[in-house]
Amino acid sequence: MNRFELVEPATLDEAVALLDPDDSAVRAVAGATALILMMKARLFRPSRLVSLRRLQGTLRGVHDEPAGGLRIGALTTLTDLERSDRVRAAAPVVSRALRTLSNVRVRNVATLGGHLAHGDPHMDLPPILMTLGARVRVVSRRGDRWIEMQDLVRGYYVTSIANDELIADVHLPAQPADAHTWYEKFTALSADDWPTVGVAVWYRTGAGRITDARLAVGAATERPMRLAAAEASLIGAAADPASFARAADAAADAIEPLADIRGSAAYKREMVRVHVRRALDKGR
């Protein structure tokens, strides 16, 4: 790793003031689990890292929102999230996914903000949070703004967070009682490996028909994304194997898969087909 300046501001205002809108070699660091790997691989050579660890008091924890739903501080560790009773009650699909997201040591240190800001298309939580309708609040000297989860990651390691912005928290809306949710993580190596393909689904049913549907994939394309054609094919359909197979075909047709060490593009397309079907079925 190269030498860099490390600053540890005590307040969020000081932290955003230490960022530089025009210099991407100045960056925030939270748990550092992703950044250290990038620095070791010389993919990133910072001049200054702005550590957020002294902000834990304000930006850590899972809180009930007065209007329903949860507010999760950006510095909440993935372990805190995995163990949170509030998260388990509101979105068990998140708690379950965390158990195979990396390993206990990484989760003990990695933060939700770092997870979302990293922009790696292989992350497990972005597709799930997209289907749950989550939003991210980012702050800068210019004020705060909201980013819908589905607009956060724009390309391969590219996010819509500006150089001088920080994620402050993530808002998870209350879920309707009839929402079916599932995340199907397919790993080609160990159980807690990065996903080869991840598929998140969310749908509602009434009178035996699907009334609303959201479906997102991760690890298969250059960024995590919702698949509108697959979602549309489900609405009005029966929640049965035939509809799930149609949606799976629509998903497989819609994507431009990106090969990586866990699978070729053709393989990823087939795995998306299989795991969309399974996710919809298990969500039942």
Ligand X SMILES: Cc1cc2nc3c(=O)[nH]c(=O)nc-3n(C[C@H](O)[C@H](O)[C@H](O)COP(=O)(O)OP(=O)(O)OC[C@H]3O[C@@H](n4cnc5c(N)ncnc54)[C@H](O)[C@@H]3O)c2cc1C
Residues that bind ligand X (CB under 6 A): 27-35, 37, 52, 74, 101-102, 106, 110-111, 113-115, 117-118, 123-124, 161, 166-167, 194
Interaction of residue 23 with other proteins, rule CB under 8 A: no
Question: Residue 118's binding partner, choosing from ligand X, other proteins, none, with beta-carbon cut-off 5 to 8 A by kind?
Answer: ligand X
**What are the distances in angstroms from CA 100 to CA 104, 158, 228?**
9, 25, 27
Q: How many helices (H) and strands (E) does the chain have?
A: 13, 14
Q: Which stretch binds other proteins (CB under 8 A): 62-70, 101-109, 128-136, 222-230?
A: 101-109
Tokens 């949170």 sit on residue: 84
Q: Which stretch binds other proteins (CB under 8 A): 100-108, 131-139, 211-219, 261-269?
A: 100-108
Residues 6+ apart with CB under 8 A from 131: 181, 200, 201, 202, 214, 215, 216, 226
When the beta carbons of 10 and 36 are compared against other proteins, the nearer one is 36
When the beta carbons of 74 and 250 are compared against ligand X, the nearer one is 74
Interaction of residue 191 with other proteins, rule CB under 8 A: yes
- Provide the minimum distance between the beta carbon of 117 and other proteins in the complex, in angstroms, as a whole number: 17
For residue 271, how far is the Cα from the chain centroid? 20
Size of the site for other proteins (CB under 8 A): 28
**What are the distances in angstroms from CA 55 to CA 30, 40, 234?**
10, 26, 44
Phi-psi region of 68 (alpha: psi -120 to 50; beta: other; left: phi over 0): left
When the beta carbons of 194 and 203 are compared against ligand X, the nearer one is 194
Residue type, 62: V
> Is-contact 183 93, C-beta < 8 A?
yes
Interaction of residue 148 with other proteins, rule CB under 8 A: no
Q: How far apart are CA 276 and CA 200, in angstroms?
A: 8
Contact footprint for other proteins (CB under 8 A): 1-6, 29, 32-33, 36-37, 39-40, 49, 51, 53, 79, 99, 102-106, 108-109, 190-192
